[in-house]
Structure 1
Amino acid sequence: MALPWALAVLSLLPLLNAQSSSCVNFTVPITNASLDQISGKGYFVAWAYRNPLYKLLTSLTQSAFFYLDFNHTDDTVLIRQYATINHQCIYSSSHLKMQKENGTLSRYLMGTELFAYLILTKDPGIFMLAFSPEDKQNMGFSLFADKPVLTPEQMRQFHEQVICMGMEKSEIVYVDENQDQCEPLHKEHEERKKETDAKGPKEGGK
């Protein structure tokens, strides 16, 4: 299961005629500066989805953290995710495609390519993902951060966007970092990586 596309099943925000000036602009191009801001380790914090499939997949996720590594050459993103689902750690890795001009990320799920808008804020510690902004029945919104616990101001920015785009605050669901079961596996992976890096490339290709 990849980035419970909760963690990349990205969904949200309808372009309503009644948008206020605080509503996000979806079609902001993705730049190298954008990617630098969200690269590395991140945490899945909260979501609000109306798409039934996305709601089901995400409802099983109790907590999740991930790593984003960007390939500027072929415009792809490697996601390594540690998700606690039904009290069990599920590790997965997958690739997303970037459409920099449109400000979107995409991946295939069940044979369909899903697109998500990358939404940056003035706070470099958080970012959001939005999917199906024109579809009131299937809109959704996800919040990610560089730390598992956010400040009231960071949460306020998320709440404002959810409400601004026509959803209710009551539709927001929060994950719980205290239910994380993946830290032991994550630690094991990090220790292996350090050992591999310490050995370096073998001489003569052996």
Structure 2
Amino acid sequence: MALLWALAVLSLLPLLDAQNPECANLTAVAAITNATLDKLSGKWFYIGSAFRNPEYNETARLIQAGFFYFEPKHAEDKIILRQYQTIGNKCIYNFTSLTVYRENGTMSVFESGREHFADLLLTKHPKTFMLAASWKGKKNMGLSFYADKPEVTQEEKKEFLDTIKCIGIHESEIIYIDEKKDQCGPLHKQHEEERKKEKEES
């Protein structure tokens, strides 16, 4: 299910017009530091996304709920990803790693023989972030939004909406997930108990 990560999370687009006044408060990461990775460490919830690319749009609509864990490996320039998605009322678990390109503020994942890139976009709220991918052409525009809780504040949501508007996508195109449809609770609990046991034994 790494492909779903690639399509629904990493297949996005960078901000196109830095001169647009609506984009003035957005901060694309010029370089990823250890401090940046530490900020991304932990549990995150997939809040919503908007895609112009029909394939990605269709894939995003399949995801009913989702959350994941980022575990940075500084020395290796990697982020271990443990992802839980509810698709078709079933829990899909995926374990993979992302490559971090510190110099240009991007991350990538390999799937089906090719590398999918994403640009990290930090928000003014430390508990949220966005990802955008390097695709050319307005037909492929898209953006995904993440938070450390399944629900965001109006202020946090507004920043996402402003970014969507900034890159020329209408608010009606946004696909939000419904955390109430999450089916991964039992598996997540099992995994956390196993991880706890492993730590105690080590």
- With the length of structure 1 as denominator, give the TM-score of the two structures: 0.90
**Equivalent residues in 2 for 1:9-158, closer than 5 Å:** 9-16=10-17, 19-20=20-21, 21-22=23-24, 24-26=26-28, 28-132=30-134, 134-158=136-160
Deviation at 1:4, TM superposition (A): 2.8
Q: Between 52-61 and 157-166, report the one with greater CA deviation.
A: 52-61
Deviation digits for residues 163-190 of structure 1 (CA, Å, limit 9, x no counterpart): 0111111111100100000010000111
Query: How many angstroms apart in 1 are the aligned matches of 2:96 and 2:75?
Result: 17
Distance 1:167-1:134 versus aligned 2 partners, 3 A rule: same
**What is the CA distance between 1:197 and its match in structure 2?**
1.5
Q: Give the drift of 1:23.
A: 5.9
Whether the 8 Å contact between 1:63 and 1:176 is mirrored in structure 2 is: yes
Q: CA deviation at 1:24?
A: 3.0
Aligned equivalents of 1:72, 1:17: Cα separation in 2 = 30
Give the equivalent residue in structure 1 for 2:192.
190
Unaligned 5+ segments in structure 2 are none
Deviates more, 1:30-39 or 1:88-97: 30-39
Q: Deviations over 1:128-159 (max 9, x none)?
A: 00013642111110000100010000000000
AA at the equivalent of 1:16:
D
| Matching residue of 2:168 | 166
* Distance in structure 1 (CA, Å) of the matches to 2:178 and 2:185: 14
Per-residue deviation, 1:8: 2.8
Q: 1:43: how far off?
A: 0.4
Q: Report deviation, 1:38.
A: 1.4
RMSD: 1.8
Identity of aligned pairs, percent? 43
- Taking the aligned partners of 1:136 and 1:23, their CA distance within structure 2 comes to 22
1:6, 1:47 within 8 Å by CA — same for their partners in 2?
no
User: Hey, what's the Cα distance between the residues in 2 that align with 1:145 and 1:76?
Assistant: 21
List structure 1 runs of 4+ shifted beyond 6 angstroms: none
TM-score, normalised to structure 2, is 0.92
| 3-state secondary structure, aligned to 1:59 | helix
Count of matched residue pairs: 200
In the alignment, the residues of structure 2 paired with residue 17 and residue 190 of structure 1 have an alpha-carbon distance, to the nearest angstrom, of 42
Deviation at 1:27, TM superposition (A): 5.2
SS in 2 for 1:198: helix
Shift of the 49–74 alpha-carbon distance from structure 1 to 2, 3 Å rule, reads: same
Distance 1:22 1:134, change over 3 A: farther
Structure showing the higher helix proportion among its residues: 2
